[in-house]
Structure 1
Amino acid sequence: MILVERRALLVSALPGYEEEIGRWLWSLEDVRRTLKAELTGISQNLLDSKIDERQTIGSLLYHIALIEADWLYEEVLVTEWDSEIRALFPFGCRAEDGSLSHIEGQKLEEHFYRLNKVREVFLSNFRTMDLTDWRKPRMLEQYDVTPEWVVYHLIEHEAHHRGQIFQLLKKLRNGSIFLK
């Protein structure tokens, strides 16, 4: 008989937040936790390699952080970006051809620092938020959006790119492709 360790698969609220908001933020954090756990210790070569001229893992990590910061400042806070956060993004989101900006040569620690710093600022702006503000639409030129929807979208966005990263990492580790 093989004994398998029993786990509890539960969603908890992040401490220090309104309960419902904290549960959504826990989910956002859980996606990030699994992403970082899988990438910890990967080589620079894996971080910078492309398959079929698609984006690198580094490019996807940069994109994830940039989009999170953008949604925070543009949609949730509707304000100018903090200069410290803006400085983390010397490149735009996309190249002229519409592909993600190509990021190469940045160490994993730099990517993790950027992801962590943006998340720290993101979470700090939700600490004092109540459910009224959580569900209050921000009236923007092209659409109305609530912080609740922004967090939902960022969970979906990062989970999607996490899947791409894991798939790319698997192919790279299996050596089943030609590294460029």
Structure 2
Amino acid sequence: MEFKVKELEGYTPQIGRLVSMMNYARKTTLDAVHGLTIKELDHLHNKNANSIGALLLHIAAVEKGFQIEIFDGRNPNEQEYDEWGAAYGLGELGRKEIKDQPLTFYIDKLYEVRNRTLEEFRRRDDTWLHSERLWDNQPSNNYFIWFHVIEDEINHRGQIRIQLKMIPFLS
């Protein structure tokens, strides 16, 4: 892997740069969780915490939500909400529903969602990336939305790294 933000084959120049940033963020997330057990993925530091597994699934859920909103032009349907709602919202529902899965489960979900994003990006160009839209009732564009996907992952990767330092049986 190169540590460069650059154009990538199969994508327009700006989308390629965005993908290279997304790839790096994902690599560092996967590096942070490499080899974790179910016990480590499910560990809760307190009654209000989110587990590492839940944070991984949340990363995928945020990207999935933007796929539905941006690529499909709609809100999640009932089936999608049933599948992704706990991961998107986390909290009590996430603590209840997101557990007892091996690391491969979370990694497969991350890859499944990311593969669709990459396929969709190959169909679009830099004009689309800069297209304006409203997000959270504010002026935005597609570039910002996908930057936010990266930002969200990096934020939660930081939480994961902190949690790893706090797991008593890892110290």
Please give the range of the TM-score, normalised by the shorter of the 2 chains: 0.7 to 0.9
Q: TM-score, normalization: structure 1?
A: 0.79
Partner of 1:116, secondary structure, is helix
* Structure number with bigger Rg: 1
Given that 1:88 and 1:114 are in contact with CA atoms closer than 8 Å, whether structure 2 keeps it comes out as no
1:67 maps to which residue? 62
1:146 maps to which residue? 141
Partner of 1:26, secondary structure, is helix
Shift of the 84–11 alpha-carbon distance from structure 1 to 2, 3 Å rule, reads farther
- Structure with the largest fraction of helix: 2
Amino acid at match of 1:13: E
Gap runs ≥5 in structure 2: none
Identity %: 28
**1:101 to 2:94 alignment:** yes
Given that 1:76 and 1:138 are in contact with CA atoms closer than 8 Å, whether structure 2 keeps it comes out as no
Amino acid at match of 1:158: E
Once the two structures are TM-superposed, the CA of residue 80 in structure 1 deviates from its matched residue by 6.0
Shift of the 83–31 alpha-carbon distance from structure 1 to 2, 3 Å rule, reads farther
1:159 maps to which residue? 154
Shift of the 39–134 alpha-carbon distance from structure 1 to 2, 3 Å rule, reads same
Instruction: State how far apart, in whole Å, the 2-side matches of 1:27 and 1:100 are.
Output: 31
Given that 2:4 and 2:20 are in contact with CA atoms closer than 8 Å, whether structure 1 keeps it comes out as no
Partner of 1:13, secondary structure, is coil
Amino acid at match of 2:151: E
- Residue of 22, 29, 32 corresponding to 2:26: 32
Shift of the 122–70 alpha-carbon distance from structure 1 to 2, 3 Å rule, reads same
Shift of the 75–9 alpha-carbon distance from structure 1 to 2, 3 Å rule, reads closer
1:70-149 aligned within 5 A: 70-79=65-74, 89=84, 91=86, 93-94=88-89, 101-102=94-95, 103-139=98-134, 142-149=137-144
Shift of the 27–82 alpha-carbon distance from structure 1 to 2, 3 Å rule, reads farther
Deviation per residue, 1:121-166 (Å, 9 max, x gap) = 0111111211111111235683443220111111111000000001
Q: TM-score, normalization: structure 2?
A: 0.83
Instruction: State how far apart, in whole Å, the 1-side matches of 2:23 and 2:111 are.
Output: 10
Amino acid at match of 1:10: K
Given that 1:75 and 1:138 are in contact with CA atoms closer than 8 Å, whether structure 2 keeps it comes out as no
Partner of 1:145, secondary structure, is strand
1:5 maps to which residue? none
Gap runs ≥5 in structure 1: 1-7
Once the two structures are TM-superposed, the CA of residue 88 in structure 1 deviates from its matched residue by 5.0
RMSD value, Cα: 2.8
Given that 1:73 and 1:81 are in contact with CA atoms closer than 8 Å, whether structure 2 keeps it comes out as yes
Instruction: State how far apart, in whole Å, the 1-side matches of 2:115 and 2:79 are.
Output: 12
Instruction: State how far apart, in whole Å, the 2-side matches of 1:143 and 1:75 are.
Output: 15
Given that 1:75 and 1:145 are in contact with CA atoms closer than 8 Å, whether structure 2 keeps it comes out as no
